[in-house]
Structure 1
Amino acid sequence: MSKRNKIVLVIMLALGVGIFAFSLRNVNLNQLLHDIVHIHVQWLLVAVICMLLYFGIEAVITKMFVVSNGDRFSIRDAIRIPLIEQLFNGITPFSSGGQPAQLVALMQSGVEAGRASSVLLMKFVVFQAMIVINFMFSLLIGFNYIAEKMSYLSLFVVFGFLIHFAVIIGLLLVMYWHGFTKKLISWIMIPIGWFVKKDRYDKWKVSLDEKVDTFYLESVRIKSQWKLLIKVFVMTFFQLLFYYLVPYYIMLSLGYTGINIIMVTSLHVLIVMVISIFPIPGGSGGAEYSFDVLFSSFIHSNSKLVLAMLIWRLLTYYFGMFGGMFALVTKPDKLNRTVVKKV
């Protein structure tokens, strides 16, 4: 981790402490302590297990993609990938650092750079596609609730959906209309060339063309492995489902039974979509505020609402970051990959 990333990490942890302290300003600490003592630990453990399954399934998916080409890849190295991704997603705006960090981690494990890039691209495609599908169903269920509670937040929800949907459309264009996509990129790059130097413009254009070509070639190979793709789509569905269920089990741990699991899960999907368009790493501030407002109708006690938000943030954000810090200092296996590959 670079010095700059270490500084950002410290800043984000300090910001988190500050947000938590601010959230507790109007909470009776004796009541909060009472709520903590009487928490239902078994449901809280289920929430923790959901997060462990979220990371574990992604690790298995990564391993499946790597070994599909005949490479060897240990489950120990596979587990490092999602944790490192969480760390760098959490300290970079728009979660932009996760992909490069995963690439470095795969290369540290001995996976060739081009192969690692292809694996991450295909994993990203499946993940984005499943996010959009889940979001569309959640939008039908929970959008009216959000529009009623916070009309301005509904605009962020729609904007987030459009961004993710545009990403999927762009990826599908590369997969199925490779030549047209390269022409489209050339047209889009023309106005950009008016504002940047020619050397930089040429460098960007060559880099984009290479990435498009690499992704297209990998997509052609992966599309022939339709059984693998079906498995990955199904596993990604359950991976995201476990993540989206976390607030529901947190509420059960606080004694709230009889709540609508579909509505709670759908609202969490929409919150995650809103967080993704906040420029601050991890959506800090916006994430806590969105959770507080949207789940206040389910949790009427102020102390329990703040406690639920703190637990949710610790599990879905800081848990992965601390796991990533541990994974970052763990030495990869770097297995010998001299194996016979399928023709």
Structure 2
Amino acid sequence: MSRRNQIVLIVMLLVGILIFGYSLRDVKLSAIFHDLATLHWRWFLVAVICIVLYLGLEGVVVKVFMADRHPDFTFKNALRVPLVEQLFNGITPFSTGGQPAQLIAMMQSGVDAGQASSVLLMKFVVFQAMIVINFLFSLMIGFHYIAVKLHALSLLVVFGFLIHLTVIVGLLMIMYWHGFTKRLVNLLISPIKWFRSAEKFAAMKANLDSKIDNFYQESLRIKSEGVKLLEVVILTFFQLLFYYLIPYFIMLSLGVHGLNLIMVTSLHILIVMIISLFPIPGGAGGAEYSFSVLFSSFIGANSKLVLAMLLWRLLTYYFGMFAGMFALVIKPDKIKSGQKGD
């Protein structure tokens, strides 16, 4: 990890401490300690298992994609990929550092950069598609509730959905209308040449064309492997499901009863969408605020609401970051230089 990233990590940890301290300003510490003492640890353990399964299943997805390319690509290597992703997602605005970090993690195992990029891109396509599908269901169930609670911020949810939908539509267009999509992209970027030199514009255009062509070639391969694609879709569905269920089990651990599983899960999906639009790494501030406002109707005691938010944030944000720090220092298993399935 670079010195700059180390500084950002320290800053985000300090920001988290400040946010936690601010959240506790109107809560007696004795009430927090009482809630911790009476915590139903079995339910909290289930929440912990959910985040472990979320990360573990993403490792399984990487392993599935790599199985016919490099049979000796170990699960240890596959698991490093999502863990490193979690760390760099957590310290970069809009989680932009996750994809490059995953690429480096795979290359450290000896995987060719082009092959690793193709695998990560297909994993990203499936992940985005499942996010959009889950969001559509949650929007129908919980949008009215979130509109009442967050007012203008609810527009961020719709905006976030449109961004994710645009991304997945664009990727699907490359898969099924390759030539048309290339021409469309070239048309859309043509105004940029008014502001850049001819050489830089030509280099950018060539780079985009290359990425589109590479993704299209990989998509042909994946489309011919229907069983593998279905396997990845199922794995990703359960991966996201375990993640979305975390608040439900945290509230059960705090003794909150009468919960609507579908509503709680739907609201968490909407919160995740809001977080993705905050430019601050990890959606710091926006994540805590959204959780506290949306789940205040489910948790009556203010001390329990704050504790639920803290536990949720520890599992969904800091757990992955610390696991990623650990993964960084673990030496990957080197694969053989020979490639299969190409």
Same fold (TM over 0.5): yes
For 1:41, the equivalent position in structure 2 comes to: 41
1:303 Cα offset (Å): 0.6
For 2:206, the equivalent position in structure 1 comes to: 206
- The answer on 1:118 being equivalent to 2:118 is yes
Q: Is the 8 A contact 2:68 2:341 kept in 1?
A: no
For 2:72, the equivalent position in structure 1 comes to: 72
For 2:281, the equivalent position in structure 1 comes to: 281
Rounded Cα–Cα distance in structure 2 between residues aligned with 1:270 and 1:27: 27
For 2:323, the equivalent position in structure 1 comes to: 323
Superposed CA deviations along residues 49-99 of structure 1, whole A, max 9, x for unmatched, are 000000010000001101133542101111111000000000111111100
**What SS does structure 2 have at the residue aligned with 1:4?**
helix
Rounded Cα–Cα distance in structure 1 between residues aligned with 2:257 and 2:200: 58
For 2:256, the equivalent position in structure 1 comes to: 256
Unaligned runs of 5+ in 1: none
Rounded Cα–Cα distance in structure 1 between residues aligned with 2:154 and 2:162: 12
TM-score, length-normalised on structure 1?
A: 0.98
For 2:164, the equivalent position in structure 1 comes to: 164
Rounded Cα–Cα distance in structure 2 between residues aligned with 1:120 and 1:186: 24
- Report the residue type matching 1:208 in the other structure: L
- Report the residue type matching 2:78 in the other structure: A
For 1:21, the equivalent position in structure 2 comes to: 21
Rounded Cα–Cα distance in structure 2 between residues aligned with 1:318 and 1:273: 18
Identity of aligned residues (%): 65
- Report the residue type matching 2:247 in the other structure: P
Rounded Cα–Cα distance in structure 2 between residues aligned with 1:162 and 1:24: 35
For 1:185, the equivalent position in structure 2 comes to: 185
Q: Is the 8 A contact 1:138 1:267 kept in 2?
A: yes
My pick for the range that moved more, 199-208 or 6-15, is 199-208
For 1:269, the equivalent position in structure 2 comes to: 269
- Report the residue type matching 1:197 in the other structure: S
1:226-241 equivalent positions in 2, closer than 5 A: 226-241=226-241
- Report the residue type matching 2:106 in the other structure: L
How many aligned residue pairs are there? 342
Superposed CA deviations along residues 97-117 of structure 1, whole A, max 9, x for unmatched, are 100000000000111111100
**What SS does structure 2 have at the residue aligned with 1:289?**
helix
Rounded Cα–Cα distance in structure 1 between residues aligned with 2:326 and 2:196: 40
Rounded Cα–Cα distance in structure 2 between residues aligned with 1:34 and 1:315: 21
- Report the residue type matching 1:130 in the other structure: M
1:119-134 equivalent positions in 2, closer than 5 A: 119-134=119-134
- The answer on 1:223 being equivalent to 2:227 is no
1:301-312 equivalent positions in 2, closer than 5 A: 301-312=301-312
1:198 Cα offset (Å): 2.9
1:337 Cα offset (Å): 4.5
For 2:149, the equivalent position in structure 1 comes to: 149
**What SS does structure 2 have at the residue aligned with 1:150?**
helix
Rounded Cα–Cα distance in structure 2 between residues aligned with 1:242 and 1:70: 28
1:23 Cα offset (Å): 0.5
- Report the residue type matching 1:86 in the other structure: Q
Rounded Cα–Cα distance in structure 2 between residues aligned with 1:132 and 1:325: 30
- Report the residue type matching 1:155 in the other structure: L
Rounded Cα–Cα distance in structure 2 between residues aligned with 1:99 and 1:182: 23
| RMSD over equivalenced CA pairs, Å | 1.1
**What SS does structure 2 have at the residue aligned with 1:263?**
helix
- The answer on 1:295 being equivalent to 2:292 is no
Q: Is the 8 A contact 1:72 1:337 kept in 2?
A: no
**What SS does structure 2 have at the residue aligned with 1:130?**
helix
TM-score, length-normalised on structure 2?
A: 0.98
Query: Per the alignment, do residues 90 and 342 of structure 1 end up closer, same or farther by CA in structure 2, a change over 3 Å counting?
Result: closer
